[in-house]
Structure 1
């Protein structure tokens, strides 16, 4: 059991979590104490344990929640701003459609203000059609990259049924999510024949903290991002292309200077992700790594000054 803040109540602090051993001792003293704490803090009792890896205690003001959903060998990030506005980037593979709907229900999401499909690969947009079908959607962004797959066709049909107009995801596009949360796309800078390099790369800034969410952008896109003069520095980096050696070049890593790297990867994959080359590169640069395959869903919270990192296991 754990305590989780409802998405619809953004001004509450996420509750601090203790290690599993400590929780067992607490449980031995009485479950009623946990219920009392939940009642006093205004939080709900959730279904999963998130282990706390807090860097510093968060301040009492509202937090930005960046949740790296465990969708196996795929990618999906859910952002919940202090204002209550929401952003979903990607939605895993086709077999994760129900998983995505369950996640949205768990976090109390009935409307997504913004949706970004980074590029047409199935492991990124496979679940988006059902998300669009079952959720109120504000704006949707896709790069100018197409695919002749049934997955991409299904996504377009869902967009059409909802009467949505697709906005182009490209470098320079920006919007805010209220309460000082700014979102800016830093890629794709150009057009590429490779769909991975067409990935929308999104930088999210809140106070003194930034997140760089890279989709499957590879070395060519990374090079063009650096050449564009965009400020790529970020505290948290979504490691490109699930940790493939085609992404996260040393030059790019030095430009970003992340403190933490998140790898969205499945336990069983035939790609060798994440590659030893990238893991070693991250280690040498002093980047602390978190992975969906070993730690489940990963949530990074920021109040604009401090970070808190929580994992499912």
Structure 2
């Protein structure tokens, strides 16, 4: 009888152990019941990305000046009135053109930008909106981490104080939710990619890569791409643009590596959802 009780106690202990272990595994995977949604908004030849996690959100770039109304209306349709992080990757008009309107129309907690300025009217408008809201700019620092309702945001670049071109000042962001991750590159080019390879190495690995500079050959070097090793690539690009983006060489590299490709010029707005373990992709009609 005592032997039977010992066996039953042992079995019960095993059941409890595996139950607790399973719960811990689920929690560590980030499967907390709240999905991450990443919206690559179709703004033609430009970047505009909205990230949602629970009750918190982040905007990375906001397209051109002509996209202001489109961006603001899109974010409002997601029932968002407060944005935790607004990131202007670098001061080119096709990335920060609509950023002033985003700042004007929503409650903003943090503005993150690289330590570089320009004397363009577009950049000055963004600064004016920041000042009017009583906000300050947080300088993008490589290695700095932030929280988005349990998802982790890591700044990967820039890694130097000075570059020869504005594109390499781009703030590069990695978003991690459970076992899934995304890398958003702005227009970061070869110099910045080389630095990220040297600083982060295998830590660059991600499931989704937003290719730099709209699929130009100035970005997405072999070493950088090999370390990120994405299952999904996203190119934000305008239909029939005059730059030849995306370049055939980049497309061929994606095909060679069996990387699924989504393009805003062909798929419209691209939405990728993550539950911490799996990714799902949906697309909508092009806005441009």
**TM-score when normalising by structure 1:** 0.79
Residue 27 of structure 2 corresponds to none
- The residue aligned with 2:155 is 185
Aligned to 2:77: 106
SS at match of 2:200: coil
Residue 73 of structure 1 contacts residue 268 of structure 1 at CA under 8 Å; is this kept in 2? no
- Partner of residue 171, structure 1: 142
Deviation at 1:61, TM superposition (A): 2.6
Cα distance per residue 1:2-43 (max 9 Å; x no partner): xxxxxxxxxxxxxxxxxxxxxxxxxxxxxxxxxxxxxxxxxx
SS of aligned partner of 1:278: helix
Structure 1 unaligned regions, length at least 5: 1-58
CA deviation vs aligned residue, 1:103-137 (integer Å, no higher than 9, x gap): 11111111111110000000000000011111110
Give how far 1:60 is off. Answer: 9.3
**Cα distance between partner residues in 2 of 1:210 and 1:188:** 19
| In structure 2, distance between residues paired with 1:270 and 1:167 | 34
The structure-2 alpha-carbon separation of the partners of 1:272 and 1:110, relative to structure 1 and needing over 3 Å to count, comes to: same
Conserved 8 A contact 1:90-1:125: yes
Match of 1:222 among 182, 186, 193: 193
SS across alignment from 1:153: helix
CA RMSD of aligned residues (A): 1.2
Name the residue aligned to 1:140.
Answer: 111
Report how many aligned residue pairs link the two structures.
253
Q: Where does structure 1 differ by over 3 angstroms across 4 or more consecutive aligned residues?
A: none
State the secondary structure of the residue aligned to 2:192: helix
Distance in 2, Cα, partners of 1:258 & 1:101: 30
Write the distance in 2 (CA, Å) between the matches of 1:68 and 1:229.
25
Pair member with larger Rg: 2
Equivalent residues in 2 for 1:40-189 (5 A)? Answer: 61-82=33-54, 84-179=55-150, 181-189=151-159
